[in-house]
Amino acid sequence: DAGITQSPRHKVTETGTPVTLRCHQTENHRYMYWYRQDPGHGLRLIHYSYGVKDTDKGEVSDGYSVSRSKTEDFLLTLESATSSQTSVYFCATTGGSPLAKNIQYFGAGTRLSVL
Amino acid sequence: GQQLNQSPQSMFIQEGEDVSMNCTSSSIFNTWLWYKQDPGEGPVLLIALYKAGELTSNGRLTAQFGITRKDSFLNISASIPSDVGIYFCAGSISGGSNYKLTFGKGTLLTVNP
């Protein structure tokens, strides 16, 4: 258990509404990632962070923004949710050092439905 | 970008059978990871591989890092019902690209008791 908590675990929202998902970690890991998981696509990287206030885009970043004001928290925001953003969202972290050995630890996920 | 081809996409087996799945890459990796995802949960690391040719076991699971550094396989021996889930391979270049992983699309394993 890498001490990663995602909230909420489930959310149903309407098209056009803003949504924020939260990832909280207790491991003091430098790197944090947001993925979405969809049938037939596996895990796709949305955004990642390599430190407080340092973030960058992943392969499917359109329609998403992130913020990291503290080491332990990484927020994913859908500014105006669309039905195509219905998915399961996972947060992951890694220490970001040779000792961390590239292993990412995952949260339990947030299931988001956009109606 | 980098791509991982994971096969098979799904497997239906009887309890007690052995299972084999593999991943191939268009690029060289120096780290291969295998994860398992139970229904409703996040992926959990099973085995990590760091050297070409490395063979590592974790109970009934065995994984190998291919000599070409472009492939890896995972074997499960004597499958049991709790082996059900999705198995993902992931590769990366240590220390590069902000420690990002490239994931395969997963192998869905169903075990019939």
pLDDT in tens, B31-82: 999 999 999 999 999 999 999 999 999 999 999 999 999 999 999 999 999 9
Whole-angstrom distance, CA of residue B65 vs CA of residue B57: 12
Q: What percent of chain B has pLDDT over 90?
A: 81
Q: Give the residue from chain B lying closest to A97, CA to CA.
A: B95
List alpha helices for chain B, DSSP H: none
Confidence of residue B1 (pLDDT cuts 50, 70, 90): low
Task: For the sheet with B61-65, list strands across it.
Answer: B4-7, B19-25, B71-76, B61-65, B55-58
Q: What percent of chain B has pLDDT over 70?
A: 94
CB neighbourhood size of B73 (10 A): 18
pLDDT the model gives residue A98: 67
- Which residues of chain B have a CB within 8 Å of the CB of A100? 99
Which tens digit of pLDDT belongs to each residue from A77-106? 999 999 999 999 999 998 766 666 688 999
Helix, strand or coil, per DSSP, at residue A91: strand
Query: Looking at the predicted structure, is the pLDDT value of residue B97 above 70?
Result: no
Confidence of residue A1 (pLDDT cuts 50, 70, 90): low
Confidence of residue B18 (pLDDT cuts 50, 70, 90): very high
pLDDT the model gives residue A81: 97
* pLDDT: which is higher, A87 or B4: A87
pLDDT the model gives residue A102: 80
Average pLDDT over residues A51-79: 96
Average pLDDT over residues A55-77: 96
Task: Pick A108's closest partner by Cβ from B41, B94, B99.
Answer: B41
pLDDT the model gives residue A2: 64
The C-alpha angle with vertex A93 and arms to B47 and B110, in degrees rounded to 5, equals 45
A39 part of contact set with chain B, CB < 8 Å: no
B39 part of contact set with chain A, CB < 8 Å: no
Mark A45-79 as b/e (b = at least 16 C-beta within 10 Å): bbbbbeeeeebeebebbeebebebeeebebbbebe
Task: Check residue A107 and report its DSSP letter.
Answer: -
Cis peptide, bond prior to residue B8, ω within 30 of zero: yes
